[in-house]
Structure formats: C-alpha cells, structure tokens
Amino acid sequence: MLKFIKHHMATIADIEIYPLISLAIFFLFFVGLIVYVILSDKKTIAYISNLPLEDKTKNNE
C-alpha cells in the first residue's frame, strides 16, 4: 500500500512544496498564538481561567 502511494506522489509535479507550506502554517499559527497570549490582558486571562470553577447557579440569579 505504501509503495502505491509513494509511486503516485512521486509522479505529481511540484508536490515537494506542500510539506513546506504545511510546516509554515503550523509554525506561524503557534507563534501567533504565543504572541497573542503574551500580549493579551492579564485580567481577561484570569477571568477565562476561572470560568470552569464558577457556580452556574450564581450566574442565573
């Protein structure tokens, strides 16, 4: 099965660019995520981190 896939991948022109594009998208996404977390407001992060711990009945009152 792997030989079948490998043979067809080798016959496609310019296919070697796709792994590089995938790596670039993966890298840029996580770098962007790290920048967003570092630059975001600390009060917002504290509020979001405490959301799962809040009592749901308190919000409905």
Tokens of 3: 């030989």
Residue 27: the pLDDT is: 98
What are the tens digits of pLDDT across the range 9-49? 778 888 888 889 999 999 999 999 999 989 999 998 889 88
pTM above 0.75, yes or no: no
Integer Cα distance of 55 and 57 in angstroms:
6
| 53 contacts 47 by C-beta, under 8 angstroms | no
Residue 54: the pLDDT is: 77
